[in-house]
Amino acid sequence: MCGIVGYVGHRQVSSFLLEGLRRLEYRGYDSAGIAVSRDGDIQIRKKSGRVSEVARLVEQKPIHGTTGIGHTRWATHGVTSDTNSHPHIGGNGQVVLVHNGVIENYTTLKTHLQELGYVFQTTTDTEVIAHLIEFCFNEQIKLGDDPTAPSTCVKAVEVALTQLKGTYGLAILFQDVPDLLITARLGSPLVIGIGDKEHFLASDATPLIGYTDEVVYLADREIAVLTADSLEIIHRDDGRQTPAIHIIDKSPGDIDLGGFEHYMLKEIFEQPQTIENAMRGRLDDDEATAKFGGLNLDAQTLRRIDRIVLTGCGTSWHAGLVGEYVLEEFARIPTEVEYASELRYRNPPMANTTMIFAITQSGETADTLAAIRECKRKGHPTLAICNVVGSTIAREADGGIYLHAGPEIGVASTKAFTSQVMVLIQLALFMARMRHMSFPAGQRIINQLKAMPSMVGKALKCHEQVRDISQKYAEFNNFLYLGRLYNFPTALEGALKLKEISYVHAEGYPAAEMKHGPIALVDERTPSIFVIPQGHIYPKVISNLEEIKARGGPVIAIACEGDDRIADLADDVIFVPSVEEYLQPLVTVIPLQLLSYHIALCRGCNVDRPRNLAKSVTVE
Ligand code: M6R
């Protein structure tokens, strides 16, 4: 978690740092801070709260200089406070740094450094890194190194890093070497932007948009030494590296609000387009199948696959559950979806004919990354379904499929879910057509898929109605979300959305399983949201709905247009277009996303920045 920015060049750096941090706030927003170096002096402004608080500080007390670093925090060690905010200072102020990650052996290091006389100001794990680097720097000087030479700073960083256990993305300034920025990575992402006589640094490419489109992704165990004119990358084991330059194709329009009040609402309304993007160039009418450029597996290997494991966290796990159902239905390949946080330690038996797919919007989720690393170690082909191009998981997987959904900035994932589902359906079609699925069946599915952007557009027409319904239910404190088959993952996703942005307790459950326990929760203050479009077990779900009504529970139904029966049974009905059962998550999730959005607004919650959360969970 946490967002990092850095710059060395010719611009006055404060405004780039603050703007960059605003763009990275989705990674954490407990506190923020910047440090700017000029003429042998490093000035810091930091504060608990949002980046805007720091911006206000800078307005009151400006800092000038053309080299600097910044940080937005999601607290792991140490409470949220002004003191614990980054940047942190080492020893006598020679070293100032920001950190994303967790130092697991910080207590041991701290004790050792305290014995050496270092005084700690904060309760963070990060402060040990600052002191440790400063200690190593002083040792280098004792050995006769020049304190104003960049090489002395690099050596100090290299030596210090060998003593750290855990994960880090670091941006480091040295007081006596002004126009130098050192950065290092192990487990936490960092991207370097290359400009004209300037270099940028950030946790992801978002802060660089509008400044440069040339980037270099730092790899684990690499240190980069940046000045305005030079970029040197050194790998801990392999020595100096030639930077591999990538081009990012994002424009400032991708990251503004585009007239919407919140990113979440903007991203909900982008879904007809993002679903289209997830299909673009992938549907092959001639062969009645889907095709993917990046799987990197030959047809023979793909035909030998006899088991699929999908893994992810949160919303991505929910999309994976839809994937499990559709892969088994279409391709008849046994499939499981595993929580990445469990899979990484569970060591389940897997043959080399098992294919592993990580599902992740950010491509940086620590548990998902660890799970695929573990599977890779055991020789399984690991692939990724990922949104962020160039992210760690996208680069470490053997192959994969991008969502092409554009930046998702709202902490609550919306468009990524529908894009993941769309990709998984196409994957199921692809795997099925390599096996038993007929040409006409493949064609039929392609035609149904092509209609989905417009179907989702129609589903969005419920917006006003959902807003009204939200007002009626906004005061309730417990909700059940119920659905069966393809509508069960949607129920889980609806409940997660409500929990994370409205702070309202909600449980997603298979509608029939509800009578084995959760039905005890039902009363007139516990609404049940039934995801109940038409399908082959519709009458069974109606029975489950009746069971709730019989116990006095209010019911909101998400039903198909043309369902005449439901209005008599439910207290409120939101209609969505009628589509095939395997496609229903793409339309039924829309009112659920909107419902959580509007309930959150009614309750005065911060929709895009919900408390305690961050967009990318890069810690275990
Ligand atoms: O970036 P990822 O898809 O790997 O993230 C996984 C989860 O952290 C994420 O889906 C989380 O549950 C969202 N906040 C849900 O809205």
Domains of the chain, start order: 3-102+169-254 (3.60.20.10), 257-450 (3.40.50.10490), 461-608 (3.40.50.10490)
What is d(CA 7, CA 172) in angstroms, rounded to the nearest whole number? 11
What is d(CA 212, CA 521) in angstroms, rounded to the nearest whole number? 54
Which residues contact residue 488 at a Cβ distance below 8 angstroms, ignoring those fewer than 6 apart? Answer: 321, 508, 509, 510, 511
| Residue in the block written with tokens 């116990």 | 551
- Catalytic site residue 615? yes
Ligand 1 atom closest to the Cα of residue 368 is 4
| Ligand 1 contact via 393 beta carbon (within 6 Å) | no
Q: How far is the CA of 495 from the centre of ligand 1 (A)?
A: 14
**Using CA positions, which residue lies closest to atom 14 of ligand 1?**
412
Q: What is the DSSP string of 234-281?
A: EETTTEEE----EE----GGGGS-TT-SSHHHHHHHTHHHHHHHHHTT
**Residue from 2, 153, 386, 462 carrying the catalytic annotation:** 2
Q: Which two tokens stand for residue 227?
A: 């000045």
pLDDT tens, position by position, 469-478: 999 999 999 9
Strand-pair category, 3-8 with 199-202: antiparallel
- Angle in degrees, CA 492, 335, 455, rounded to 5: 50
Ligand 1: residue of 206, 313, 500 to mutate (most ligand atoms within 8 A of CB) is: 313
Ligand 1 atom closest to the Cα of residue 365 is 4
Which residues contact residue 300 at a Cβ distance below 8 angstroms, ignoring those fewer than 6 apart? Answer: none
| Ligand 1 contact via 184 beta carbon (within 6 Å) | no
Q: How far is the CA of 364 from the centre of ligand 1 (A)?
A: 10
pLDDT tens, position by position, 570-601: 999 999 999 999 999 999 999 999 999 999 99
What is d(CA 612, CA 618) in angstroms, rounded to the nearest whole number? 14
What is d(CA 184, CA 168) in angstroms, rounded to the nearest whole number? 7
pLDDT greater than 80 at residue 359: yes
| Residue in the block written with tokens 């069960």 | 488
pTM: 0.82
- Nearest CA to 556 out of 565, 541, 544, 567 is that of 567
pLDDT tens, position by position, 422-462: 999 999 999 999 999 999 999 999 999 999 999 999 999 99
| Ligand 1 contact via 368 beta carbon (within 6 Å) | yes
| Ligand 1 contact via 31 beta carbon (within 6 Å) | no
pLDDT greater than 90 at residue 403: yes
Ligand 1 atom closest to the Cα of residue 315 is 10
pLDDT greater than 90 at residue 313: yes
pLDDT of residue 245: 95
Mean pLDDT of 383-394: 92
What is the DSSP code (8-state) at residue 213?
Answer: S
pLDDT tens, position by position, 203-256: 989 899 999 999 999 999 999 999 999 999 999 999 999 999 999 877 777 778
pLDDT of residue 92: 86
Region label for 166, one of left (φ > 0), alpha (ψ between -120 and 50) or beta (otherwise):
left
pLDDT tens, position by position, 531-546: 999 999 999 999 999 9
Mean pLDDT of 292-304: 90
Q: How far is the CA of 616 from the centre of ligand 1 (A)?
A: 7
What is d(CA 461, CA 458) in angstroms, rounded to the nearest whole number? 5
pLDDT greater than 90 at residue 271: yes
pLDDT of residue 247: 92
Q: How far is the CA of 620 from the centre of ligand 1 (A)?
A: 13
| Ligand 1 contact via 419 beta carbon (within 6 Å) | no
What single letter denotes the amino acid at residue 335? T
| Ligand 1 contact via 66 beta carbon (within 6 Å) | no
Ligand 1 atom closest to the Cα of residue 615 is 14
Cβ 587 vs Cβ 448: under 8 Å: no
What is d(CA 80, CA 82) in angstroms, rounded to the nearest whole number? 7
Task: Look over the chain and give the mean of its residue pLDDT values, rounded to a whole number.
Answer: 94
Cβ 340 vs Cβ 365: under 8 Å: yes
Mean pLDDT of 260-273: 96
Higher pLDDT pick, 251 / 40: 40
What is the DSSP code (8-state) at residue 516?
Answer: G
Query: How far is residue 558 from each of residues 300, 512, 620, measured CA to CA in Å?
Result: 43, 17, 36
Element holding 314 (H helix, E strand) = helix 314-326
Ligand 1: residue of 1, 316, 369, 419 to mutate (most ligand atoms within 8 A of CB) is: 316
- Catalytic site residue 2? yes
pLDDT of residue 227: 97
| Ligand 1 contact via 313 beta carbon (within 6 Å) | yes
pLDDT greater than 80 at residue 618: no
Tell me the backbone φ, ψ of residue 283, rounded to 5 degrees: -95, 125
Ligand 1: residue of 206, 344, 391, 413 to mutate (most ligand atoms within 8 A of CB) is: 413
Q: How far is the CA of 593 from the centre of ligand 1 (A)?
A: 14
pLDDT greater than 90 at residue 127: yes
pLDDT of residue 105: 94
- Nearest CA to 562 out of 553, 551, 573, 554 is that of 573
pLDDT greater than 90 at residue 611: no
Q: Does residue 585 have a cis bond before it (omega within 30 degrees)?
A: no
Tell me the backbone φ, ψ of residue 130, rounded to 5 degrees: -60, -50
pLDDT of residue 248: 86
What is d(CA 13, CA 45) in angstroms, rounded to the nearest whole number? 13
CA atoms within 13 A on the CB side of 553: 28
Q: Which two tokens stand for residue 487?
A: 């509508």
| Ligand 1 contact via 386 beta carbon (within 6 Å) | no
| Residue in the block written with tokens 């305290």 | 114
- Nearest CA to 426 out of 412, 442, 439, 438 is that of 442
Ligand 1: residue of 338, 339, 361, 364 to mutate (most ligand atoms within 8 A of CB) is: 361
pLDDT greater than 90 at residue 60: yes
- Nearest CA to 559 out of 587, 595, 523 is that of 587
Beta bridge partners of residue 573, listed in sequence order: 557
pLDDT greater than 90 at residue 615: no
pLDDT greater than 90 at residue 610: no
**Residue from 46, 266, 499, 615 carrying the catalytic annotation:** 615
Which residues contact residue 29 at a Cβ distance below 8 angstroms, ignoring those fewer than 6 apart? Answer: 50, 51, 72, 73, 74, 609, 614
pLDDT tens, position by position, 43-56: 999 999 989 999 99
Query: How far is residue 195 from each of residues 245, 367, 484, measured CA to CA in Å?
Result: 12, 34, 53
What single letter denotes the amino acid at residue 29? Y
Q: Which two tokens stand for residue 167?
A: 């994960």
- Nearest CA to 586 out of 411, 337, 418, 385 is that of 418
